[in-house]
Amino acid sequence: MTLKDAAFAVRKNAYAPYSNFLVGAALRTTAGNTYVGCNVENVAYPEGTCAEAGAIAAMVAAGEQELAEVYVVADSPTPVPPCGGCRQKLKEFGAGAVKVTLGTLDGLEHETTIADLLPGAFDADHMARS
């Protein structure tokens, strides 16, 4: 199964009763394993958790910590970029050159990288004097 297929499939499992905006994400690790996530909303936090964060949590729970590629899909007119928090999470677990493909149900795709999604990202080098 491709990352695109995995993201499309898991998107259907999203829990979004407030926004009805379903998002699916799939990632591949440098070890070649695939993990998926979908957005989950709740009444106290209607924005919910993001699909990318769910996929990263599954990856970390499985004992892996290095991204090789990411695919995110939503039913939107144009490809939707990850939120700021997810961009930082992607940066935490992936090199700047890691490919991130953003897609729509209509087949539009935008390929980018983690570095392009989060220029000037905070990382451990900023704490060198600590």
State the residue range of the domain holding 31: 3-127
Task: Give pLDDT tens digits for 97-117.
Answer: 999 999 999 999 999 999 999
More confident residue, 83 or 36: 36
Q: Is the pLDDT of residue 7 over 80?
A: yes
The pLDDT, as a whole number, for residue 42 is 85
User: What residues are paired with 73 via a beta bridge?
Assistant: 24, 103
The pLDDT, as a whole number, for residue 26 is 98
Question: What's the predicted TM-score (pTM) here?
Answer: 0.92
Domains in the chain, number: 1
Task: Show which residues are catalytic.
Answer: 52
What CATH number should be reported for the domain holding residue 25?
3.40.140.10
Q: Is the pLDDT of residue 128 over 70?
A: yes
Task: Give pLDDT tens digits for 14-66.
Answer: 999 999 999 999 999 999 999 999 999 987 776 678 899 999 999 999 999 99
The pLDDT, as a whole number, for residue 130 is 65
